[in-house]
Amino acid sequence: MLQRSNIDWGYMTAPQAHSCLARSNRQCAWPRGKVMGGSSAINYLIYIRGGADDYDEWQSMGNHGWSYHDVLPYFKKSENNHDEEAHDKYYHGTGGYLTVERFPYQDENVHIGFKAYKELGLPVIDQNTDEQIGVMLLQNTVKHGVRQSTNVAFIRPVRHQRKNLRIETQAHVVRVLIDPKTKVAYGVEYFKDKQLHRVFAKKEVILSAGTINSPQILMLSGVGPEYHLEEMGITTLHSLKVGHNLQDHTTTDGVIFALTNKTATTVSDEEREHDVYRYKEKHDGPLSATGTIQLNAFVQTKYEQSHKRPDIQLTLDVTNVKNAVSDPILTYETNVLPLAYYDGLLLRPILLNPKSRGVVKLNYSDPIFGAPIIEANTFYERIDLLRIVEGIKQGLNLLRTHSFRKIGARLVTNSMPGCEKYKFGSDEYWECVITLYTNTIFHPVGTCKMGPKEDPDAVVDPHLKVHGIKNLRVIDASIMPKIVRGNTNAPTIMIAEKGSDLIKKRWLHQSEFNSKQSDLSSGIHNFFADTSFDFNFRRK
The set of catalytic residues is 443
Beta bridge partners, 296, equal 136
Alpha-carbon distance of 311 to 30, in angstroms, equals 22
Alpha-carbon distance of 385 to 514, in angstroms, equals 48
Alpha-carbon distance of 36 to 41, in angstroms, equals 8
Alpha-carbon distance of 521 to 510, in angstroms, equals 18
Per the annotation, does 389 bind a ligand?
no
Question: 7: closest CA among 109, 147, 197, 179?
Answer: 147
DSSP string, 441-481: -S--B-TT-B--TT-TT-SB-TT-BBTT-BTEEE-SGGG-S
Identify the three-state secondary structure at position 497: helix
Q: How far apart are the first and last CA of the chain?
A: 40
Rounded to whole angstroms, what are the CA distances from 243 to 211, 398, 492?
8, 39, 18
Per the annotation, does 299 bind a ligand?
no
Alpha-carbon distance of 409 to 469, in angstroms, equals 58
State the angle between helix axes of 52-60 and 68-78 in degrees (0 to 180), rounded to the nearest 10: 130
Amino acid letter at 500? S
Binding site for FAD: residue ranges? 35, 173
